[in-house]
Structure formats: C-alpha cells, structure tokens
Structure 1
Amino acid sequence: MTSRTVLISGAGIAGQTLAHWLSRHGLRPTVVERAGTQRSSGSPVDVRGRAVEVAERMGIMLKLREASTDVTDLRFVNASGKRVGRVNVRAVRRASGSREVEIPRGDLAAILHEASRDHAEFLYGDSIATLSQDEHGVDVTFTHAAPRRFDLVIGADGLHSQVRRLAFGPESGFVRHMGMYVATTSLDTPADNQRDVVLHNTPGRLVSVHPSRGRALAFFVFRSPAVPGFDHRDSSQHKRLLTEAFAGGGWQVPELLGRVRAADDLFFDSVSQVRLDHWSHGRVALLGDAASCVSLFGDGSTLAMAGADTLAAALAATPGDHRSAFRHYEAAHRELVGPKQRGIGRAAALIVPATRPGILARDLGSRLWPLAAAGGWLGQRLPGAGNATGREIVHARSTSPTT
C-alpha cells in the first residue's frame, strides 16, 4: 500500500518534530515554510516534561544539553540596578527533580531540523494559498510551487495560522488577547553576566536581559488592552507601541529602547491564547500554537514536541482512519494543554505584577521558591504535600510565545 502523504505547514518546533515521527512511522511528510531558511533567532525556551522523553527517543537529548544555556540565577533589580530578589534556578530544578534544559529557540529548531531533514521534503520560501478537500484527499495550491494533492494537511504554523484561517475561519473567532504584549530583540553583544537573567519590573511592565549563549537578548512585556488596528507584521507600529509603553523607565530601559528603534529583527506580538472546539476539520488538523497557543507562560515548545509525538503515534495506530486518529490525538493532548491555559493568571502575576505591592511581594517571596519547588516535587508523589507555585516563574522567563 502507498504510504500516506502529509503536508505540514510550518517548519518550527511542532512541524519538524511531527515530520520526524511521521517518517519514523512510515508516512511521507512534506513541510512548507514561509521563511526562506531555518529561523536562527528567538528567545530561550524550555524542553521539559513530556518533551524530554520525546527528545530522548529521537536521540537528540545530548545535543540539546550541549547547546543549553548556562543560566543559574534569575536576578530582580530596581531602577538603580540594585538586586531586590533572586531565584537560584539550579536549586529549583534540583528541588523539583527536573531534567529540563533551557536552549535558544534557534538552536532547538536547528537540532530538530537535523533530525528530520533527511526524512522529509522541505519547501522553503513558500506557503499554502488554498485548500480544497474531499472524501479522499486535499488539493493544495501554493504561492509558488505547483499544485499538489495530499492525504492529510497539518497546520503547525503558529498563532497566526494560515491553515487555520483557510480550514476553520477568520483568526478573530479563535484568538483571544490576554491583556499583554511581548517583544524580543537581539542585542548582538554579550551580557555582562553569562549566568544571570536580569529582570526589572515597574507596575504592569517587565524588561529583562537574558545572556542566551553569548549574544544577549532583550525581552519586554507590558500589560495593555487590545490595541485597535494592531498588525503583527507592522514593525514601525511595534517600535512606537514599545517606546510609548516604556517611556521614562529606569535601569537600562533608555539604552534598550534605543536598540529597539535601530533593530531589524524585533519580534512583537500580542500575548494570546487560541481556543477551538475541535482541532480537526475533515482531513485537516492543527498542531502547536495553531491549535492551542497557551500564551507566553505556557511551555509552548514543550507542548509542541509532545503534541507532535502524540499526533504521529495516533496516525500510525489507525492507518486509513484519520478521523479516529485526530480524535485520539486531541483528547490526549488537551489533558496537557488545558491546565496551562487555565494557569496564565498566576504566571502573569509572578512575572509581570500589576502593582508596586505585587512587585514587592514577588521579590520578597523569591527566596522561598526553591523550597516551594521541592514541595511541588513531593506533592506529585504524596498527595496534599505541596504545590509547585514556586516553579512558575522559572518557566515563565524569556520564552518564545510561538512554536
């Protein structure tokens, strides 16, 4: 029997992990990516939980650890740069029994590409223009490539998914603004301290510098209602909004805003969640942020890898029955996604407190987080022994909002 053909839109974390596992299960994946090359930038992200197990089975865990960042501490500073709080990241990880790694997103994507490139077809610099499905397959037209027919199409193309728009409807029906905007840009110079992530808060604002393996990264978050006429592709608008939000800030804010105004690689977007009643429509399904973006604080890369593995296994287990496979994938993966989507309020309160008393309480409480993490680890084994609230901020630091 001819192997099933699967078109994956998006060569990010979710798309490349899926391509690897589909090939391993005997399917024929093709990956189409709008960008002309592999993305090499992006905030550090965590590979933790289920994703560690997925990476180990892919045989890439050693490479991930070799490429991991060397961060040992989160350091909170006031407007004059004086330390007002600290989290020992290594102590938190030891206390919680974590095997996670933090790795620059570009490095994670490159390692996943190395694992999948010889087993999938990649079409860079192109995108899906139209989808037309029937009982037996999906006819796809591309912006540049010739039209083709596939057995299945998977949208792994992020928060602003083209596949979701074509198969499910306008973005406005599924994307929910969570009251914040986020921006990142490379500083092209090393951080002063290669071990510390430095964070500075004012009410409803966060500015952070992450060492990110030798090339520091500036990270901004600010609370704001949805901006009328916001366009995630308009860099001039983004620079204006960021400059207005952080005007008059202390610490290194004026210098960092100067870098923003000169940047040609600024990432800026709404902190959003994606919620759909169903992640599949006929022979088209969604994966990663396209299906269930869990916002800035929700382990997007970890969930992307876990979801890709679950989807590939479901398709392999039910050959010729994609509807059943999509149902099993969705039911299993929603169990991981649901708690993350519900937990944004607590995570946001820790990383971007809305008030000065909230900032003070967070800074004072930071010294207790390793102990709270140990309680969370114990609570997983002894019901009622504790919770993992102290770990939230470690996994909410400078992470990419998309996968």
Structure 2
Amino acid sequence: MAIGTVLISGGGIAGPALAFWLAAGGFRPTLIERAPHLRTGGYVIDFWGLGYGIAERMGLEEEINRVGYHVREVRFVNDRGKRVTGFGTDVFTELTAGRFVTLGRSDLSRLLFDKIKDTTEVIFDDEILGIQEHPAGVRVNFKRGGERAFDLVIGADGLHSGVRRLAFGPQQQFEKRLGYAVAAFECAGYRPRDEDVYLMYGQPGRMLGRFTLRDNRTLFLFVFAAGNDPVPATLEMQKAVLRKIYGGGGWECPRILNALDGIDDLYFDSVSQIRMNSWSQGRIALTGDAAFCVSLLAGQGSALAMISAYILAGELFRAEGRYQEAFRTYETLLRDYIHTKQRGAERFATAFAPRTQLGLFVRNLVISTFAIPGVARLAIGREIADALQLPDYRWPSPTN
C-alpha cells in the first residue's frame, strides 16, 4: 500500500470514526486533539439512518442505546408552561425501523474513542501550526510536539477547522451564516424534570429548549436570531447576551438564567454552513463539519460525520492508497447527498425559531396537524430518508 501514515486533526465524531476505519483498512492513523482531554457536556443529538448503521457495523449499537435516550414527546409550551402543540416520536421510530436514539454528542465521541484506543496513536493538548506538502508526504509542525512527517493529513476538526484554514484559506471564504446563534449548557439539580420529553418555548426570533438528562442533570438549548457579529469572546460576555435576549421571557426563563450564573462551561456559536468547491488539495483532505457543516440545527451533523469518515477511509482502502483517486471518488459519492442535506437545513433553521409572531403561529399550526394519521409521516419522512447507498468495502481487519 502506497499510503501508510495518516494524521487526523479533531477528536469529535468524524476524527475517531475515520481513525477506526483507516485502521480497519490497514493504515496507521494518528489523531491529534487540541483539548487536553475528551470533551464532556455540550448538547444532545438525534442519531439515526446511515450514521446509526455505521455505528452498528462498528459494534456500537448496544452501547449507544445504553447511554442514549428514547424521547417520547417533543412539546411546545407557552409563557405559563402549558402545552401549545407537539408530537409523539412514534413516527421517528416507525420511519427508522426502531434505529433512532438521542444521545450526548460527547457520549458518542467517548464510545468512538474506546474503539480506537488499541489501533490509533492519540495526542491530546496539541494542535497543528503548519503544514508543508512535498512530493513524498506532508511535514507537520505541532505547537508542542515539534515536526513530524505523514503520508496524508485529514482535517476532521469541525466548523472552525484549523486544517482548512492552513491548507485552503480563511473560514470566511467558505462559511455561510444562517442568521442564528446557538448556546447550550448543563446544570445539576434543576427542577422540574420531565423524563424523555423535549420541551421548547418560543418567542419571535428565539427558542429555549429543556431536556432532562441522567444523574440529576438538565440540558438547556438556546437558539436565537443573530446578525453577522462575531461570537462574544468571553464566557461572561456570552452569558450577558443570553440574559439580554431571554431576560424578558416567560415560562422558566428567569429560573434558567439564574442557573446560568453558576456554570463555567457554555457552548456558544453561530449557526453556519461550510460550502466548498473541493474537499481536498494534494495530500490534504477534509471530512465532517470541516468540509461541509450543514449546521447544528439540522440535527444530522454527527451522522454525516460518521458517513463521510466511513467513505473517505473506504475509498483510500479501495484505491490502495492512491489518494488523488480516493479523494475524487469520495467527493463524487457524497457531494449531491450533502448538498441536499444543506438545503434542508436552511429550511429547518427558519422553522426552528421563527422571527415573527405569525411565523410562530404557523409553525405551531403545522405541528398540530401531525396528530392527523399519516401527516407526520409525510412531513418528516423526506427529511429522515437517506438517499445514499453505502459502499461495502470488505475491510481486511475486524471492525467490531
């Protein structure tokens, strides 16, 4: 095999998934993650379809369902906490043949890392500062680890990819903001608790969600209309933005903002997509959100990370390391599929947090029709369906 060593930047979902499949194909992956350890907390994801199927191939189905949640209802409430509309999740279970679970993104990342601990060199608390390609490979300069050589470098480092910036150019060349920002945090001891119910409270241009976690913890998700201003630089500035936007809200807004006072880990970012004409350049390629972020609101980023990692590794294996050929086929197989997901995510963003009272009314009215037999299936089925056939790469090494 012409290619042996592959450096992967990013320890979220795409990075460890790619390392797993590269090792299964006989490559020698190294994964570097800027954080000093695996991340915890964050937000929950809905996980289904082809991403779930790849997790099954990795032998993760039992663990995913053990750590995950099986949501019974999505419930929209008013200022007084009374149900306005909502829907049961039976339709998701039906459309996915029971292969649908909600779980913490950090939990999925941890399960993936457990799968690569014996096959992948993992470097925490370091990052790539420079990449220099030459005919025989790529020289990489690390912040703490000096210089090393690899055959390929793959950026799996998310929306704000450092590899993309170093190899392709600044983020603003490729980022398409969808006009919203998102924040999330967890706290302990919050009451009330509504097991397996996702509650959502909306006002024009903003939404606040609450989801009950295990171990006496609760997750809060904020989505609100935003301009093109940069993300606030400090934790206190980010908290101040949330207090300003949600300070006059009803329902549990005052209590949730009080809970915000005691936390020191807050996820806060713009809702953006990444649009690129090419996901590779020479010996350097991108996967997952680094290549084509569909946006957090799409709810499919982790599944798409799993899919793209599987196909990228598979094409490198199938091409016996001829990376130019593998990168071309990888894009050919995925680009139309990803473009469809991005268009759907743009539509979903405006429905998630409508900017006007009329928009909220119409959104709630549409959701109310889900109670009519068959309507929810028609409305949701197109978004849940995966119009992509996963290749079978016949990996030489065991995959579970």
TM-score (norm 1): 0.90
User: Where does residue 167 of structure 1 map in the other structure?
Assistant: 167
Structural mapping, 1:99-118, within 5 Å: 99-118=99-118
Distance 1:349 1:305 in 2: 26
Mapping for residues 228-247 of structure 1, pairs under 5 Å: 230-231=230-231, 233-247=233-247
Residue 145 of structure 1 corresponds to: 145
2:2–2:322 CA contact under 8 A, matched in 1: no
- Counterparts of 1:97 and 1:358, CA distance in 2: 33
1:160 Cα deviation after fit: 0.7
Cα deviation code 1:120-161 (max 9, x no counterpart) = 000001101110001220000101113100000000011111
- Hey, what's the Cα distance between the residues in 2 that align with 1:5 and 1:86? 50
Deviates further, 325-334 or 269-278: 325-334
Instruction: Assess, with a 3 A threshold, how the Cα gap between structure 1 residues 66 and 292 changes in structure 2: closer, same or farther.
Output: same
Is the contact made by 1:207 and 1:221 (CA closer than 8 Å) also made in structure 2? yes
Tell me the distance in 2 between the aligned counterparts of 1:26 and 1:57.
17
Q: Which deviates the most, 121-130 or 52-61? A: 52-61
Residue 331 (structure 2) aligns with: 330
Distance 1:388 1:373 in 2: 11
Name which of 192, 201, 216 aligns with 2:218.
216
Match of 1:369 in 2: 370
1:313 equivalent to 2:314? Answer yes
Question: Among residues 224, 227, 233, which one is paired with 1:225 in the alignment?
Answer: 227
- More deviation, 356-365/272-281: 356-365
Aligned length: 380
CA, structure 1 residues 334+373, in 2 after alignment: closer, same or farther (shift >3 Å)? farther
Q: Indicate the residue corresponding to 1:58 in structure 2.
A: 58
Deviation at 1:235, TM superposition (A): 2.0
| Stretch moving more, 149-158 or 58-67 | 58-67
Whole-angstrom distance in 2 between the partners of 1:157 and 1:80:
41
1:353 CA drift (Å): 1.5
Which residue number in structure 2 is paired with residue 285 of structure 1?
285
Alignment partner, residue 128 of structure 1 = 128
Unaligned runs of at least 5 residues, structure 1: 378-386, 393-403
Aligned position for 2:74: 74
Counterpart check, 1:342 vs 2:343: yes
Using the TM superposition, give the Cα deviation of residue 232 of structure 1 relative to its aligned residue in structure 2, in angstroms: 6.1
Name the CA shift for 1:232/1:128 in 2 (closer, same or farther; >3 Å).
Answer: farther
**2:392 corresponding residue in structure 1:** none
**Percent of counterpart pairs with the same letter?**
39
Q: Which amino acid aligns with 1:7?
A: L
Q: Deviations over 1:159-211 (max 9, x none)?
A: 11110110011111111211000000002236511121110000111001011
The letter for the 2-side match of 1:78 is N
1:41 aligns with 2:44: no
Residues 136 and 274 (structure 1), Cα distance of their counterparts in 2 relative to 1, 3 Å cut: same
How far is 1:99 from its partner?
1.6
Distance 1:196 1:311 in 2: 36
Q: Report the secondary structure of 1:216's partner residue.
A: strand
Segments of 5+ residues of structure 2 without an aligned counterpart are 386-400
SS in 2 for 1:343: helix
- SS of alignment partner, residue 223 of structure 2: strand
Per-residue deviation, residues 332-369 of structure 1 (Å, max 9, x unmatched): 12232111111133212322122212212222332333
The alpha-carbon distance between structure 1 residues 314 and 175, as it changes in their structure 2 partners (threshold 3 A), is same
2:85 is aligned with 1:85 = yes
